[in-house]
Amino acid sequence: MDAADSASTSTSGLLPKEKKKLILNTATIEDLQKKYGAVKPSFHEVLYKLYQNDLYTEFDKRVLQMKPNDCAIIQKYSKVETFPIDGHDNLKMVTVNTFISDHPLREFHRRSVKKWKDIADMEGLERAQNQLAKIENLPLLVFIHGLGGQLSQFEPIIQEFRNCSDMFGIDLPGFGNSKPTEKTHLFTKLSASSEEDNKKLNQTFINMRTENYRTDSIVDILYQILLQKFPKRTFIIVAHSMGTHLAIKLVNRLPSNTVESLCFISPPKLSETVDQPPSIPYITKSFLALSSFYPRLFDFYRMIDRFGGLYSHSVNSYLYPAEKDVFKRLTQLRWNLDTNSIVFLKYARAFRPAAATELLGAASKLCHSTDQERPRILICCGDSDKVTPLKYSKEITNILRDSGFAVKLSKVKEANHSVFLDRPHVLSGLVYQFVSELGLNIDCTWTLKIRAIIGGDKWSMKNIEKWKKAVTLSKPLINYASPEKPKSPLLGMKTLRENDPTHNPLTFESTHPEIYAIMDIGSDTPSYDPKDFKRIKYIKYKTESKVTPDDITIAKFLDIVDKLVLAKQSNQYIVVHCHYGQNRTGFLICCYLVERLGWTVKEALEAFENSKEPGIKHQHFKNALYLRYGE
């Protein structure tokens, strides 16, 4: 099971809105933790909060105000959708938040076909059109989160596959951005939803009865949504915790060979028989039953569990004990706060783990599941998982192997149940390597190969004529209004291109000895080979195009730059680039100038515009800077 700590059902006793928005950074988080998180209320204060129906700590309230529950990639590619559902008497329609990210080759194919048509190159047009079937036949990555989870937890894996796969997922009814609308202004999210969307989400919550929360019912909803949206696709399912058991039951519903592969992360213990409730201690079972009739009791328990803020039992239950990254701890606490208690209790009481027979049945329906040379099932689990211990993953592995199925078990060192937070790069790397070795063409190498065939050039890029017109590299940023303020160590640049005659890695490195590092903030695979750099340090830090970076993205960017500034020589620069080096690049550089060097927003914007015309072009990026810094 997943993050059981969550948002309270209470709505009173909330903070008034801050006069000035808190800037989310390490110093702010540590200050709030010291001031509020580390303070435990007295017994009388706790009773008074219960009397006032105020079941958030002071630290909780500030976390909710400061940190959205979702992330930028979910914001960009998610939307609220309504699906007709059959076989559920009281539930004719289900409204949920969906995430759909298309393979980048789809957009590249569309642009290339238009280009070949415009220049009447029939050979190029035919070559491009012949590749579309290959893209259409690729498997779809499907993400299924667990109890109390949400799609944002998969961010590291989504980022790993965004340049080589179609992807889909939903926030299960009641969780993430599919949860009923909270009656408080504290709960924030990046993703947009209309009033009509919120009404439909609330109506789904109202319509769902106890039987609709049963595991088989949730599986049926997933099954119907997948068949409605992707009737002819095959799937690779990536699931976490309770989601792994939903995946097992889902595979058994789908036709044989519809699922190519299963990637299980932190799976719970299997049940001995089908439709058997999970084995839990009597006291816990009784408490959950009592809480189902009196949810405020569960809220009260969880508020106490959050005493200690970032270092509370609530957070430590899911993160590796020695984890010191305050952003990870903040994110875990925010996810814990996000789950509605009533929804959590309904899922928990209705959960029926998969049985060994169901697991084996699902394995038998996978494509080539007995191929020992190329396993189709991956199981990953943290070595310090307190919620679904590693022994459960080993038991599942042994059951599969004893029946002749090929499975790969990967133990993630120094990781608890939230492997996504504890070891994001290790986990995403394990899943990517496993999937790329399946021979299904879900990998960046194959994508570059097809890209070269479609576009006639391995290093082709979108809007190349627009790219050519963009200023290559900014001049040093100068603060004319306040010259006494510290000088900027950052420069803006448009992305390099491997086969460009002048703006390529080798030429750039040889002609710019003053450049210490390049920070690539683009979301795509770069149109050059970073391995060409012999002296310049290359850092990949993915951000989303067209959307302003969120607080966590900004804070992490600033921390990376801080480390680079300490490592470089005083006369060296750090280059930042997206595609054209204007909007995202300018925005993040301005954030650094304001937060680290004390420039005003106006000074930062003018300096960037003077150094790399026309500066930040999209007004919403400029507005976001003024809003963030209250100028």
Count of domains for the chain: 3
Q: Does residue 537 sit in the same domain as residue 593?
A: yes
Instruction: Convert the pLDDT of each residue in 395-411 to its tens digit.
Output: 999 999 999 999 999 99
Q: Where are the beta strands (DSSP E) in 447-571?
A: 490-493, 515-520, 537-540
475 and 398 belong to one structural domain = no
How confident is the model at residue 183, as a pLDDT? 61
First to last CA, the chain: 44
Q: Establish if 383 belongs to a structural domain.
A: yes
Among 385, 382, 302, 303, smallest CA distance to 345 is for 302
| Shared domain check, 510 and 413 | no
The beta-strand segments (E) located in 54-92 are 78-84
Q: Are residues 61 and 79 in the same domain?
A: no
pLDDT tens, position by position, 427-483: 999 999 999 999 999 999 998 888 888 877 777 787 888 999 999 999 999 999 999
What single DSSP character describes residue 112? Answer: H
* 4 confidence band (pLDDT: 50, 70, 90): very low
Whether 452 maps to a domain, the answer reads: no
Structure tokens at 404: 């002749």
Extended beta strands in 482-556, E state: 490-493, 515-520, 537-540
Of 378, 407, 442, the position where a domain reaches its end is 442
Q: pLDDT tens, 294-335?
A: 999 999 999 999 999 999 999 999 999 999 999 999 999 999
Whether residue 243 is found in the same domain as residue 155? yes
- Shared domain for 265 and 287, answered yes or no, is no
Q: Half-sphere exposure of residue 375, counting CA atoms within 13 Å on the CB side?
A: 19
Q: How many CB atoms lie within 10 A of CB 487?
A: 12
Q: What percent of the chain has pLDDT over 70?
A: 96
Pair (438, 487) in one structural domain: no
Residue 129 lies in a domain: no
The CATH number covering residue 220 comes to 3.40.50.1820
Beta strands in 337-429 (DSSP E): 377-382, 407-412
Residues of the domain holding 32: 26-69+279-348
Last residue of a domain, one of 442, 459, 481: 442
pTM of this structure: 0.91
Average pLDDT over residues 486-512: 97
Phi and psi angles of residue 127, each rounded to the nearest 5 degrees, phi first: -60, -45
Identify whether residues 91 and 222 lie together within a single domain: yes
How confident is the model at residue 606, as a pLDDT?
A: 98
Residue (of 87, 86, 228) closest to 168 by Cα position: 228
Instruction: For residues 245 and 175, state if they share a domain.
Output: yes
Q: Kindly state whether residues 239 and 284 are assigned to the same domain.
A: no
Assess whether 500 and 430 both reside in one domain: no
Average pLDDT over residues 185-190: 82
How far out from the chain centre does Cα 230 lie? 22
Distance CA 333, CA 422 (A): 14
Please classify residue 45 by burial: count the beta carbons closer than 10 Å to its beta carbon, then call 0-12 exposed, 13-18 middle and 19+ buried.
exposed
Domain end, chosen from 348, 373, 404, is at: 348
- For residues 339 and 485, membership in a common domain is answered with no
In-domain check, residue 458:
no
